[in-house]
Amino acid sequence: MSHAINQTLEGKQVWQRLIEGNMRFAQGFFMGRNLLDLRRSLHRGQKPMAAVLCCSDSRVPAEIIFDQSLGDLFVVRSAGLTLDPTTIGSLEYAVAHLHVPLLVIKGHECCGAVTAAVEHPDLDEGHISAIVRQIAPAANRVRATGKTGRDLVETATIEFIASLQETLRRESSIIDEALARNLLHLVVSKYHMKDGRVEVIASTF
Ligand SMILES: [Zn+2]
């Protein structure tokens, strides 16, 4: 029991560190680090403080946006944060074997994958269709409320990333159990490109 409580505190502390890093990034600063020493110290293994699921978009790398370095974050990226057995398995590895106390789902403003799901829900183009198909139901739910244009895309982004928490709990007993036992906390967030800030949409804190 005390173990679980410690893990809970740790998850909150990790999120605090990420928010502080994001504030540095938003202000245009970064924390200088000696990468040679850091790289050598990580030779024997990794102990990242959080797992992050984020988009492949070149403008949204988690390490830079949270001002973190080598060994800090276990990052799983896919266009639009879409999930499949390998991306879920990657997150499960971080939870079950690296024992990260925090999982951050980080969507972002102006997401091309969400825009494609809004504009071309029936897209038939290689495996890109699988990405669009996964996001389209959330986009359709938001469209049914009467939203259009940019407002529709941004609201659909929040609708989809918020639904990922439920998807992960349903598809992964490893993640579901870790959350239920407070060994893992989860933050759903959205990155805003103009001001560089990460906004919290939901959390288990
Ligand atoms: Zn994106």
Residue ranges covered by each domain of the chain: 2-203
Ligand 1: distance of its center to the CA of 54 in Å?
8
CATH class of 2-203: alpha beta
pLDDT band at 9 (very low <50, low <70, confident <90, very high): low
d(CA 161, CA 79): 12
Ligand 1: distance of its center to the CA of 79 in Å?
6
Taking only the tens place, the pLDDT of each residue in 130-142 is 999 999 999 999 9
Query: What is the DSSP-derived secondary structure letter of residue 190?
Result: E
Name which of 188, 197, 144 is nearest 19 in CA terms: 197
Ligand 1: distance of its center to the CA of 157 in Å?
9
Ligand 1: distance of its center to the CA of 9 in Å?
31
pLDDT of 2 over the 80 cut = no
**Cβ neighbour number for residue 45 with a 10 Å cutoff:** 7
Ligand 1: distance of its center to the CA of 78 in Å?
8
Ligand 1: distance of its center to the CA of 187 in Å?
18
What is the pTM (predicted TM-score) of this model?
0.94
Ligand 1: distance of its center to the CA of 102 in Å?
21
Taking only the tens place, the pLDDT of each residue in 104-125 is 999 999 999 999 999 999 999 9
